[in-house]
Amino acid sequence: MAEVDLAVIGAGLAGCSLIGRLQQLGSDLNIALIEAGRGPGGRTATRRKRDQSGWLLNHGAPGFNLSESMPEGMDSLLKPLRARGVLQQDKRAVLSLDVEAGLSPATSPDAWPNGGWWHGVPSMASICEALLDTAGTAQLSRQFETRVRWLEHRKDHWLLENEDRTWSLRAKRLVLSGTLLAHPRSLKMLAWDDVPLRTAIAEGVDDDLDKALSLLQHSQAEVRWNLMVDLGVLALNAEELPAQIWLNDAAKARWKVERLVLQPQSVGRWGLVVHGLDSGQAITPESQGHLLAQEQQRLVELLPKLLQALPVVSAALNQATPLGVMRWGASRPLNNPLPQELQWCPTSAVGFCGDWIAGTGFGRAEGAVSSGVNLAEQLHADR
Ligand SMILES: Cc1cc2nc3c(=O)[nH]c(=O)nc-3n(C[C@H](O)[C@H](O)[C@H](O)COP(=O)(O)OP(=O)(O)OC[C@H]3O[C@@H](n4cnc5c(N)ncnc54)[C@H](O)[C@@H]3O)c2cc1C
């Protein structure tokens, strides 16, 4: 069985920032990155189409904001990405939509955050890919399409296994960049009958871990239902349509939609992502298919109304193809951030990073990057 110094579960911004920063610091740790998805990105993921090269639809976060003055480590990590053009300021317009579906320039802090919008080029997933590139291949092995289900803590190592135990890995240290293995939500959503990290380390063995798990138990997250649409070819340049249209509070309450995201694709095609808000219906493996179909129908039916102020897009709806709904079960954490001092639990050799860690950017992409950088610096200092 393979054995590594560090196993990082999750290839989103936090896990990739952790690995990228460790590499920048000259770490000699032998690292394995394990990710349930097909590639890096997590909630900054990009959907491709098998039959259409050049189709890159950002169906999670379409961009994010960064504080104008950021910690040195984070700046060092992101600087090469800016220099390569992988991380760019998004200059396209952001509009606000009112309850009559009228459009005006966006002014709310969510829609127009301090420092403006940054995005990945050519796609949001490119940011995570570029962070991993800096890590090279010698000390990093990548394991995609593998969801860790079982965790066991033995005397001097962790044992990780997938659901049917056909894949396993030994690691001296473990980092979780998502909350799935540590939060009770997995029980309902995946019909698991235990919280894997709690099962691995019994209560009373590690005070720090007990504190972390008890805080996490009470944390809540927002659910999003994102409808993806291929609008076909539009005779418009990228700058002629807004990048995002945020519904104001009254419009959100009326239509249960947060925003519309318009993305130019190759050869004149356009993609649209509708960020739908949750109605609170519980989801189980059995109800999932039906709920996704129901939400797709609801959002598709709303589009002519929501897009009436953009005649070219509105007309394109006749030829548009819905590409399905992606349900983000925990699109953003809302409360109970994990204090930074609990990011590393030395007794159990387990650590945490992600947008659920306390600090600037909690609940946002900036917090995810910053938590990965912090943990990398801590691990490097403790080596
Ligand atoms: C629809 C949407 C819109 C958003 N809009 C914005 C925005 O406008 N601005 C902003 O700043 N932020 C936004 N966000 C939030 C932003 O995307 C996140 O804060 C950030 O991407 C989180 O990165 P992360 O690495 O912490 O987590 P993630 O990206 O979730 O990464 C965790 C990874 O771990 C993997 N994983 C978890 N458990 C396991 C397991 N057991 N085995 C294997 N792999 C596992 C997951 O598959 C995932 O890829 C948005 C998010 C969504 C979903």
- 92-148 tens-digit pLDDT: 999 999 999 999 999 999 999 988 999 999 999 999 999 998 766 568 999 999 999
The CATH number assigned to the domain holding 374 equals 3.50.50.60
Q: Identify whether residues 180 and 311 lie together within a single domain.
A: no
- In the predicted model, is pLDDT for residue 236 greater than 80? yes
Mutation probe of ligand 1 site: the residue of 43, 185, 260, 263 with most atoms within 8 A of C-beta: 43
Q: Tens of pLDDT along 237-257? A: 888 999 999 999 999 999 999
Q: Identify whether residues 315 and 170 lie together within a single domain.
A: no
Q: Identify whether residues 162 and 129 lie together within a single domain.
A: yes
Short-list 98, 81, 130, CA closest to 246: 98
Ligand 1 atom with least separation from CA of 361: 11
Beta strands 52-58 and 46-49 are antiparallel
Short-list 17, 21, 127, 10, CA closest to 64: 127
Ligand 1 geometric centre to CA of 158 (Å): 24
Predicted local distance difference test score (pLDDT) of residue 26: 92
Q: Identify whether residues 247 and 260 lie together within a single domain.
A: yes
| Total tally of structural domains belonging to the chain | 2
Q: Average pLDDT for residues 169-181, to the nearest whole number? A: 96
Q: Identify whether residues 174 and 323 lie together within a single domain.
A: no
Place of tokens 């740790």: 29
Instruction: Specify the higher pLDDT residue, 284 or 303.
Output: 303
- In the predicted model, is pLDDT for residue 170 greater than 90? yes
Q: Which helix or strand (DSSP H or E) is residue 152 part of?
A: strand 148-153
Q: Identify whether residues 199 and 271 lie together within a single domain.
A: no
What whole-number distance in Å separates Cα of residue 338 and Cα of residue 375?
Answer: 13
Q: Identify whether residues 168 and 285 lie together within a single domain.
A: no
Q: Average pLDDT for residues 72-88, to the nearest whole number? A: 97
Predicted local distance difference test score (pLDDT) of residue 1: 74
Ligand 1 geometric centre to CA of 178 (Å): 8
DSSP 8-state symbol, 376:
H
Supply the Cα-derived Rg of the chain in whole angstroms: 21
Sorting pLDDT into bands at 50, 70 and 90, what band is 50?
confident
Ligand 1 atom with least separation from CA of 40: 49
Place of tokens 């945490």: 352
Predicted local distance difference test score (pLDDT) of residue 136: 62
Ligand 1 geometric centre to CA of 316 (Å): 31
Short-list 328, 294, 324, 302, CA closest to 224: 328
What whole-number distance in Å separates Cα of residue 338 and Cα of residue 191?
Answer: 25
Q: Average pLDDT for residues 352-361, to the nearest whole number? A: 96
Q: Tens of pLDDT along 28-47? A: 999 999 999 999 999 999 99
Q: Identify whether residues 135 and 32 lie together within a single domain.
A: yes
Positive/negative CA dihedral, 251, 252, 257, 262: positive
Mean pLDDT computed over every residue of the chain: 94
Pocket of ligand 1 (CB under 6 A): 9-15, 34-37, 42-44, 60-61, 64, 147-148, 177-178, 180-181, 224, 226, 275, 328, 331-332, 354-355, 364-366, 368
Q: Identify whether residues 236 and 257 lie together within a single domain.
A: yes
- In the predicted model, is pLDDT for residue 83 greater than 80? yes
Mutation probe of ligand 1 site: the residue of 161, 163, 299, 332 with most atoms within 8 A of C-beta: 332
Structural domain that includes position 225: 90-115+221-331
Sorting pLDDT into bands at 50, 70 and 90, what band is 80?
very high
Sorting pLDDT into bands at 50, 70 and 90, what band is 49?
confident
Instruction: Specify the higher pLDDT residue, 238 or 321.
Output: 321
Ligand 1 atom with least separation from CA of 177: 32
Predicted local distance difference test score (pLDDT) of residue 135: 63
Q: Identify whether residues 44 and 66 lie together within a single domain.
A: yes
Token pair of 338 as six digits: 């994990």
- Amino acid identity at 275: H
Q: Identify whether residues 74 and 214 lie together within a single domain.
A: yes
Predicted local distance difference test score (pLDDT) of residue 287: 80
Question: What is the share, in percent, of the chain residues with pLDDT greater than 70?
Answer: 99
Positive/negative CA dihedral, 108, 317, 287, 253: positive
The CATH number assigned to the domain holding 284 equals 3.90.660
Q: Tens of pLDDT along 55-75? A: 999 999 999 999 988 999 999
Q: Average pLDDT for residues 176-182, to the nearest whole number? A: 94
Ligand 1 atom with least separation from CA of 43: 29
Q: Identify whether residues 132 and 36 lie together within a single domain.
A: yes
